[in-house]
Amino acid sequence: MEKLIITCALTGAEVTKQNNPAVPYTAAEMATSAWEAWREGASVIHLHAREDDGTPSFRLERFAELIQAIRTKCPDVIIQVTTGGAIGMSRDERLTPVALNPEMATLDCGTLNFGGDDIFVNTENDIKYMGAALESRGIQKELECFEKGHVDTVLRLVRQGFLHHPLHFSFVLGVNGGMTGEQRDLLFLKDSIPPGSTYSVAGIGRFEFPLAETAILNGGHVRVGLEDNIFLEKGVLAKSNGELVRKVAEMAHRHQREIATPAEARAILGMEKKHD
């Protein structure tokens, strides 16, 4: 089986230090957290920006500062910036970090209720607009799908010529408003994507580790991190992002699945090596 790509989602836009004191905000905290994740086996860092007080940020200078801080500690890691941002940001705000020419960025592939009264808006027009912004710069897309309709949207937009291969999906499962994170959900989604495409799974909360194991056993890749889940196990807060990555790496070793380096991850995803 292909080596396992582990992505670490360091911080997101929603969780705070009140939820778990290990959630990184500052450039120094982000860099240390990325380094700990990378040392444990993460080859991709999924990056949201926060201001020092924890407010979600879309300032270009802040992204530049964070990317530089992470690069200094982890020279070869793949930095995947978010274009999902935080609820309520405009699509142009969300595209801000793309101006820094990162190697990789997320593309959110549909609208959904997001954990209560919030709506995470990604109209078909938004997807075309943001997808074109990534593809025109040669930025590798990670296609974030929160339910099956999002996968179908991607496949339709590919057929219509708005999105192009390589297709790397990220199934984000367990958001209230999206698809649940049962094993059957992931197996259904993985069987819905075309041959030659790749996928990773990000299980939210209690779904994180069971889905990681399902992906490890079924040729998928895995995302973990405090953005998605703050617990190492039931009732035990994770002390760091590195601890979450280590748990997945140990799981992979138990199942004889080797861990990809960043260079190997680039090859698996069909990416050219380039630096931001």
Bridge partner residues of 81 (DSSP): 47, 105
**What is the three-class DSSP state of 274?**
coil
Pick 12 or 24: Cβ nearer ligand KMH: 12
> Is 155 an interacting residue with respect to ligand KMH (CB under 6 A)?
no
Q: Which of 10, 86, 134, 259 binds ligand KMH (CB under 6 A)?
A: 86
Bridge partner residues of 104 (DSSP): 80, 140
Q: What is the dihedral of CA 127, 128, 134, 136, to 10 degrees?
A: 180
Instruction: Give residue for tokens 């020419």.
Output: 101
Number of residues binding to ligand KMH, judged by CB under 6 A: 12
For residues 88 to 107, the per-residue mask of contacts with ligand KMH, x marking binding by CB under 6 A and - elsewhere, is ------------------x-
Which two tokens mark 57?
């940020």
Smallest distance, ligand KMH to C-beta of residue 134, A: 12
Which ranges in 160-275 belong to alpha helices (H)?
183-190, 208-217, 241-254, 262-269
Report what 108 binds from ligand KMH, Zn ion, none; CB cut-off 5-8 Å by kind: ligand KMH
> Is 13 an interacting residue with respect to ligand KMH (CB under 6 A)?
yes
> Is 108 an interacting residue with respect to ligand KMH (CB under 6 A)?
yes
Binders of Zn ion in range 63-92 (CB under 5 A)? 82
> Is 178 an interacting residue with respect to ligand KMH (CB under 6 A)?
no
Pick 141 or 257: Cβ nearer ligand KMH: 141
Smallest distance, Zn ion to C-beta of residue 254, A: 28
> Is 203 an interacting residue with respect to ligand KMH (CB under 6 A)?
no
Smallest distance, Zn ion to C-beta of residue 93, A: 15
Q: Which of 8, 12, 49, 91 binds ligand KMH (CB under 6 A)?
A: 12
Q: Where are the beta strands (DSSP E) in the chain?
A: 6-9, 42-47, 49-50, 56-57, 78-81, 104-108, 112-113, 119-120, 140-145, 168-173, 198-203, 221-224, 231-233, 236-237
User: What amino acid is encoded at 84 in this protein?
Assistant: G
Contact criterion met (CB below 8 Å) for 54 and 19: no
* Residue sitting closest to Zn ion (CB): 82
Pick 108 or 147: Cβ nearer ligand KMH: 108
Distances (CA, A) of 108 to 105, 128, 150, 192: 10, 11, 9, 17
Contact criterion met (CB below 8 Å) for 83 and 95: yes
Pick 2 or 118: Cβ nearer Zn ion: 118
Which residues are near Zn ion by CB under 5 A?
82
| Binding stretches for ligand KMH (CB under 6 A) | 12-13, 82-84, 86-87, 106, 108, 114, 120, 144
